[in-house]
Amino acid sequence: MSSLLLLKHHEVHTIQDDMESFVLLLLYYGLRYLQHTGAFGSSLSIIEHIFDYEGKDENGGTIGGKTKETMFTKANYLGNNFQFHSTPFDNLIKSAFQAVGQWIEAENLKTQSQVSQGSTYFERLVNASARPASVPPPLSSLTLRDHTFMSSLFHLALSDTRWPTDDAANDSKFQEERQQRKEKKRGKRRRDRENSGSPVRKNSRSSTSKSLLAQTWHEYTTRKTARLSTMQVGEGSVRRSAPN
């Protein structure tokens, strides 16, 4: 789920939420199965920080998504020097991050602008004398205004000739660390176990990173087609009748 939906920024599910969700799905697959720099910890630690965050709002309700938001807008948890060893996959992720980050920042500016107007005369006068809020850019100027950019990005990446053939999926370290965490929590000693393996097919003659991208692209286009058939066009975005 997208960061702003988890943060309860809005309730109506937009196509921008969908696109961010697929970028997050690609990131999860990449962190778990592909080689990367991992400067800020193991794959499991990074995944837990990004995907398992849970906080409280001002009313005590449960919210999530803050770590995802700051990852897109401030490079938190991955860092500016984070890199996947698969060049096409890395280029796609970084390009998608820039587009998602732009959308999130625009939505946050929109919220700040609405708050700065104030609901009483006092608030309006105080806010008017304060530093003026930045004007949020219109949706039509954003990269993720529709599916065009994301579709072009996937096609460009899949047509790249630099996909590696020596990046076989390796899930053993992730599974081993997760098992160690579970056993540590239970207060038990580590037991020998068989490697459960990866759901991603290991094939040294093909590119695992490209296969991950192709599978995700297929799911993305299938879901996009299904949703567009049931969506209604709303002001500024394509919206569904109800969120997930």
Of residues 238 and 44, which shows the higher confidence score?
A: 44
| Predicted local distance difference test score (pLDDT) of residue 235 | 39
Cα 175 from Cα 182, distance rounded (Å): 11
- For residue 50, give every residue at least 6 positions away whose Cβ sits within 8 Å of its Cβ, in sequence order, or none: 27, 67, 68, 71, 77
Q: Is the pLDDT of residue 68 over 70?
A: yes
How does residue 155 score in pLDDT terms, banded at 50, 70 and 90? very high
Phi, psi of 101 (to 5 degrees): -60, -40
For the record, the structure tokens of 75 come out as 């490079």
Higher pLDDT, 57 or 142: 142
For position 44, what pLDDT does the model report? 87
Question: For residue range 136-149, what is the model confidence (pLDDT) as tens digits?
Answer: 788 899 999 999 99
Kindly report, residue by residue over 3-40, the tens digit of the pLDDT: 999 988 888 889 999 999 999 999 999 999 999 987 56
58: tokens are 């001002």
Q: How far is CA 239 from CA 14, 134, 218, in A?
A: 5, 26, 22
User: What mean pLDDT is predicted for residues 220-244?
Assistant: 54
